[in-house]
Amino acid sequence: MCDLFTISFGFGSIFTAIKDCIFGKASYIWDLEDNLDALNKALQDLTQAKEDVNTRIAIAEQHQTRRRLKQVELWLTRVQDVETQADELLRVKSQEIEKLCLGGYCSRNPKSSCEFGKKLVNLLKALQDLTQATFVDVAERIPEDPVDERPSEPTVGLDSKFDQVWSYISDKQVKIIGLYGKGGVGKTTLLTQINNKFLSFPNDFVVIWVLVSKGRRLESIQETIMKKIEAHTSEIVRMHDVIRDMALWIACEVEEEKFLVCSGIGLTRAPEIREWENVKRMSLMKNKIENLSEIPNCPELLTLFLQRNPLKMLTSGFFGHMIHLKVLNLSRNHNLTELPVGISELVELQHLDLSFTGILELPKELKALTNLKCLNLEHTDSLRKFPRHVISNLSMLQVLRMYRCGSFESKDSILFDEGELFMEELVCLEHLNVLSINFKNSHTLGRCLSCPVLQNCAVESVSIQLNDGSTSLNVLSLGVLKDLGELHIRSTDLAELVIDREMRNVPQFYSLHCVELFYCSKLRDATWLVFAPNLKILWIYGCDEMKEIISVEGEVGEMMGNQLPFPRLQFLTLVYLPKLESIYCNPLPFPHLKGIQIFQCPKLKKLPLGSNSIMTSRSLTNIRGEEDWWNELQWEDQTTQDHFLPFLEAYSYPLK
């Protein structure tokens, strides 16, 4: 006895399978000409996308303090690969089309045409996928050195104290060490020696040195520490997802607060309105959200992070139901050009960050934020309108950051008159203790440096963009700004950075770590930089008359003595200096140098690199410049040339 079974075939399904098999392959031939045209168009779109990404990378890497992300580097590699494949297919385009017959529905060599058409379809899909890829960020910050070496003096009579303190530091059970004593007994000297001792353990510690002047407020100290920590992390701190989720869970359990964190997960829309209810702290940073068009109801919300999105618009009533918000971060939303007038509802707001946004004007409603303690407007280059009485109304303001704030051309603002209106508003801020600021003329600069209110501030960043015809600037007058960390100078008329001969004690710019000289077309040198021993970033651009960076001739050269310039320099960028012949007359050790960029400096035939540099420049990663310029360089000896040759990265800089 046997079992009977039947197999049922549906004629329709058999026909469909046969049709798909035959016609599916045939479509590679039928659609070949259309697909070739589509490939050509897709290749153009991808090339444009690649150029846009490369432009963003070039801008991000200008100061060499940022490096392209690995995912961006991988994308560029894939783009190059598919471009090569596409070029190969397009190269034989004519031969493949000639094989077609019967109006393009058949081929004289079906197998060859079918294989070619299949490659074409697959490559077209790859091109389209690459073109659709988007990057919120293309580069990450390069971490700074974990320890900043500070100028020190011999610890005469302090050796035993040093050994004692260092033993406490080495003891894992000791969490806090306090040094106290009368003025002049050597506390700062001892701390400096301890700080420098950590240079021997660069991979184990991050040392943060913060000077706390009398009367400086807690928030100012906290922000200074925060900036130092940010400088030592890759993305001027990431947790593993599991650790982050656990931390959020613990925080919610202990503090009975609800967190909503959706950072860096590619969101194109904000969470549903119902998810905002009862949330106290929310982070939507590093996503792809373009519009916030709905009005959430979240009266308990205290913190809202929206930075690093391509935000274009916030609906006018967006802030209407978050009246207890304390912290709002909108930074690096480059497409955000305006704030909703409803921002006036945030009467309890204490921290507002608008840095690196495309804001065109500040709404007058901002003056309602009378509890604001920190306002960050740095690098808002498009800002044209800054209404009167906004700043003076923010009477509780402690931190005001306006470095590189405002466009150069606009005059419809308190920022762009002779500076009188702005200074009048600034001196009303009795609680101000941290400031970064722009100066448009030497008169305003002089007023600031002599203003008692501002002398009590930690002025950390200064942009001087002289437009009043000034031909000289007493740069050492800035020495009164003990906390000055960033300095940007731009002036087409400036011909001399004056060293006051009457000054008995030349000030040392110990805090100055970044200097930019832009379009100082008459400036001949920047020798005063020898007084900035902790300078890390130097960027000189478009100074047509500059012949040397550091000159050993004249009065400043005599003041230098045996002091070598750039002992802490990490990044050096020199662009469009047609008369530049020398950076420094002799080779320098450059113990911390990480990168050099030199473009359009045709007379610069020698770099200050030599045998000593070989021994000490262990952190160097690249030297970028035009290949022709590199080939004409003169070297101290063949050994030096052979050593630095592998660091060359040939680049061409965009036209001026």
Nearest to 600 by CA among 559, 525, 651, 526: 651
Q: If you ran DSSP here, which 8-state letter would residue 424 be given?
A: H
User: In the prediction, which pLDDT does 64 show?
Assistant: 62
Nearest to 529 by CA among 547, 501, 504, 552: 552
User: In the prediction, which pLDDT does 21 show?
Assistant: 40
Which structure tokens are listed for 368? 């309602």
CA distance 476 to 134: 46
User: In the prediction, which pLDDT does 457 show?
Assistant: 83
Question: What is the share, in percent, of the chain residues with pLDDT greater than 70?
Answer: 82
CA distance 619 to 617: 6
User: In the prediction, which pLDDT does 217 show?
Assistant: 63
CA distance 209 to 222: 12
User: In the prediction, which pLDDT does 26 show?
Assistant: 67
Are 530 and 553 in contact, with CB atoms under 8 Å apart?
A: no
DSSP 3-state of 233 = coil
User: In the prediction, which pLDDT does 247 show?
Assistant: 55
CA distance 61 to 52: 14
Q: What angle, 0 to 180 degrees and rounded to 10, lies between the N-to-C axes of helices 110-132 and 32-60?
A: 30
Residue count of the chain: 656
In this prediction the pTM is 0.68
> What residues of the chain score a pLDDT lower than 50?
1-22, 234-235, 237, 254, 656
